[in-house]
């Protein structure tokens, strides 16, 4: 250890620490005089602002939720964004209040998934300027994944089956849609199992390139170290995202064949609880309806906030192609990565 004799911190001995062997602390680089500009400091070249709704698993008037562009090691990793080009500290009270509701709702939705014990909610913001909150599902029983290093484990663990991943996305999207907005993610088609080529009538035979990184859709972010890091959709992808997605849409049934809103029984139960538990919220300040004091009945306020979606009520799922596949990832954050 030439120039670095710093003792290893205690966390390197925690069961959750992903690495072992000889380690040493990196030398700390000198601080820069000026912070580098983050991706999307200007709304014009902001990835989030330039990414169409169909690249998200769920959207509403003021909020959108996206997933990674492919399955990762955790059951699900999602990102909550506000539509407005704002950073966390710049949110007006209305959005700040809704952020609380959305955070709780999304956490609940993810936690309701089978096999998910906990949901880690993080905000780093070193990579992209547009506010985005990370939600990482920690697998049930995986005590070694508890805490700080979950985001690292996400890149270390074997990737979960794509079908399961899509199911998870669809369930979360449907859950959110129950409160308003539109779900774009649909569950995988039953015929999904079929080998390479899916000649499903409803999907017009699409190549099974789902799990593909589809480099085109996620050029990665400036200064991105890449390394398993969720890439960010570049300006040019905006269109490609949806395009490619549709291709990859194989996994999704074009006709919302979402057998049962909330898939599993446990989900339903959870959903029921959630309904009850968040009913108040929904009524008072449901995302669709900004103002808490609003006396509108829970139902009447829906129309307002999400006027365009007529399918919202029943299906909760977007009718169309249902891409939901190419969820660009937000940050180009290198160091903190998220």
Stretch that binds Zn ion, among 107-115, 124-132, 218-226, 255-263 (CB under 5 A): 124-132
Nearer Cβ to Zn ion (152/222): 222
Neighbours of 265 (CB within 10 A): 10
Contact by Cβ (8 Å): 310, 318: no
Does 80 engage in binding with Zn ion (CB under 5 A)? no
Contact by Cβ (8 Å): 300, 38: no
Tokens for 218, please give them.
């996620």
Nearer Cβ to Zn ion (130/288): 130
Nearer Cβ to Zn ion (42/291): 42
In the complex, minimum distance from the CB of residue 46 to Zn ion, in angstroms, rounded to a whole number: 3
Q: Is 170 exposed, middle or buried (0-12, 13-18, 19+ CB in 10 A)?
A: buried
Stretch that binds Zn ion, among 9-17, 126-134, 228-236, 266-274 (CB under 5 A): 126-134
Does 106 engage in binding with Zn ion (CB under 5 A)? no
In the complex, minimum distance from the CB of residue 66 to Zn ion, in angstroms, rounded to a whole number: 13
Does 338 engage in binding with Zn ion (CB under 5 A)? no
Nearer Cβ to Zn ion (81/167): 81
Size of the site for Zn ion (CB under 5 A): 5
- Geometric angle at alpha carbon 201, from 171 and 214, rounded to 5°: 60
Contact by Cβ (8 Å): 149, 69: no
Nearer Cβ to Zn ion (118/130): 130
In the complex, minimum distance from the CB of residue 318 to Zn ion, in angstroms, rounded to a whole number: 22
Does 233 engage in binding with Zn ion (CB under 5 A)? no
In the complex, minimum distance from the CB of residue 50 to Zn ion, in angstroms, rounded to a whole number: 8
* 137 DSSP β-pair partners: 119
Does 246 engage in binding with Zn ion (CB under 5 A)? no
Contact by Cβ (8 Å): 25, 114: no
How many helices (H) and strands (E) are present in the chain, helices listed first?
6, 8
Tell me the CB-side half-sphere exposure of residue 89, using CA atoms within 13 A: 3
Residue 263 zone, left/alpha/beta (φ > 0; ψ -120 to 50; rest): left
Alpha-carbon distance 87 to 41, whole Å? 10
Nearer Cβ to Zn ion (46/55): 46
In the complex, minimum distance from the CB of residue 138 to Zn ion, in angstroms, rounded to a whole number: 29
Contact by Cβ (8 Å): 251, 191: no
In the complex, minimum distance from the CB of residue 90 to Zn ion, in angstroms, rounded to a whole number: 11
Q: State how far the alpha carbon of 295 is from the alpha carbons of 43, 300, 303, 329, in Å.
A: 35, 10, 14, 37
Alpha-carbon distance 228 to 241, whole Å? 19
Applying CB under 5 A, among 38, 64, 85, 258 the residue interacting with Zn ion is 85
Site residues for Zn ion, 3-62, by CB under 5 A, read 46, 48-49
Does 130 engage in binding with Zn ion (CB under 5 A)? yes
Nearer Cβ to Zn ion (139/330): 330
Stretch that binds Zn ion, among 96-104, 123-131, 248-256, 264-272 (CB under 5 A): 123-131
Does 221 engage in binding with Zn ion (CB under 5 A)? no
Nearer Cβ to Zn ion (51/250): 51
Residue that is written with structure tokens 């909150």 in the block: 133
- Cα 20 from chain centre: 30
Task: Note the residues at the interface with Zn ion (CB under 5 A).
Answer: 46, 48-49, 85, 130
């Amino acid at each position: 250890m030439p120039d670095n004799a710093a003792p290893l911190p205690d966390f390197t001995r925690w069961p959750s620490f992903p690495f072992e062997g000889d380690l040493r602390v990196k030398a700390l680089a000198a601080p820069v005089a000026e912070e580098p500009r983050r991706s999307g400091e200007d709304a014009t070249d902001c990835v989030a602002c330039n990414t169409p709704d169909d690249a998200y698993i769920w959207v509403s008037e003021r909020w959108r939720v996206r997933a990674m562009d492919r399955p990762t090691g955790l059951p699900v990793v999602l990102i909550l964004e506000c539509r407005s080009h704002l950073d966390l500290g710049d949110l007006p009270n209305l959005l700040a209040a809704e952020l609380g509701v959305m955070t709780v709702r999304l956490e609940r939705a993810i936690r309701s998934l089978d096999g998910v014990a906990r949901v880690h909610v993080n905000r780093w913001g070193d990579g992209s300027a547009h506010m985005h909150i990370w939600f990482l599902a920690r697998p049930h029983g995986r005590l070694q994944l508890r805490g700080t290093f979950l985001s690292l484990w996400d890149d270390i663990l074997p990737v979960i089956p794509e079908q399961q991943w899509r199911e998870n996305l669809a369930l979360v999207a449907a859950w959110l849609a129950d409160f308003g907005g539109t779900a774009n993610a649909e569950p995988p088609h039953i015929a999904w199992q079929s080998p390479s080529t899916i000649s499903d009538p409803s999907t017009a035979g699409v190549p099974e390139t789902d799990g593909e990184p589809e480099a085109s859709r996620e050029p990665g972010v400036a200064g991105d170290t890449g390394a398993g890091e969720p890439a960010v959709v570049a300006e040019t992808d905006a269109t490609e995202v949806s395009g490619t997605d549709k291709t990859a849409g194989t996994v999704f049934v074009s006709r919302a064949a979402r057998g049962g809103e909330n898939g599993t029984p446990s989900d339903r139960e959870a959903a029921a609880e959630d309904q009850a538990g968040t009913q108040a919220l929904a009524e008072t300040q449901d995302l669709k309806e900004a103002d808490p004091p609003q006396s509108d009945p829970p139902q009447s306020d829906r129309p307002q906030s999400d006027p365009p979606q007529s399918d919202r009520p029943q299906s909760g799922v977007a009718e169309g192609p249902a891409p939901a596949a190419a969820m660009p990832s937000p940050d180009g954050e290198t160091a903190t990565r998220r």
